[in-house]
Amino acid sequence: MPAIDQARKLKSAFGDAVSEPLEFRGEITLVIADPQRVAEICGFARRELGFDYLVDLCSVDLEGEVPRFFVVYELYSYAHRCHLRLKTGLPEEAPELPTVTPLWATANWHEREVYDLMGIRFRGHPDLRRILMWEGYPHHPLRKEFPLAGKPTEVPEVAFTQAAPQEGGPFVTQSGGPDATAREPRANVREEP
């Protein structure tokens, strides 16, 4: 069964709680209006529609927009051989969602990564702690306000105490310059006269 048919079943079951299916380049996306219903809607997709594989769970920071954050669930059904994307928006202040770890065990590490790097909490998660950064690290490095050149830490003997440059990293768009900070795209925004 094609993903669009599966998306229509989900829309039919939840009405205004999800958007009309959006299709772009053969990919189907549904936007969940109430982020607190994510686990319920994902549960329906798993049990009733056969989306038995959580391919990915990630987050997006749209700093300056409302809602600021989106959490995106990429689902796959082996039975129907199709993908479906679910996403929901979260406010800037205290972003939190219910966990989907009871539905897909792989959500455990995905949710920990989103918590660690973006600061979005998952209520009911069995072990919500940092997965890449060390405990006590005061920042969330994938948020847009975090500089690409990094920030110094005040935690001696735990990790680096100086900002770690992203020499030649994927987001450095200009070559040359004295250091990574000067090459950071946001540092090169020119004011209009």
Could you tell me the residue range of the domain that residue 188 belongs to? 147-193
Are 79 and 153 part of one and the same domain? no
**What pLDDT shows up at residue 74?**
98
User: Do 9 and 58 have their domain in common?
Assistant: yes
Alpha carbon dihedral 171, 175, 180, 186, in 10-degree steps, equals: -60
Q: Are 179 and 165 in contact (CB under 8 A)?
A: yes
- 14-65 pLDDT, tens digit per residue, is 999 999 999 999 899 999 999 999 999 999 999 999 999 999 999 999 999 9
**Number of structural domains found in the chain:** 2
Contacts of 183 (CB under 8 A, 6+ apart): 172, 173, 174, 175, 176, 177
**pTM (2 d.p.):** 0.80
CATH number of domain containing 123: 3.30.460.80
183, 100: one domain: no
Distance CA 46, CA 43 (A): 5
Q: Do 93 and 184 belong to one domain?
A: no
Q: Tell me, what DSSP letter sits at residue 151?
A: -
Looking at 143, 159, 183, the residue that finishes a domain is 143
Joined together, the tokens standing for residue 107 give: 């959500």
pLDDT in tens, the chain (193 residues): 789 999 999 999 999 999 999 999 989 999 999 999 999 999 999 999 999 999 999 999 999 999 999 999 999 999 999 999 999 999 999 999 999 999 999 999 999 999 999 999 999 999 999 999 888 888 899 999 888 777 766 665 555 555 555 554 444 445 556 666 666 655 555 555 5
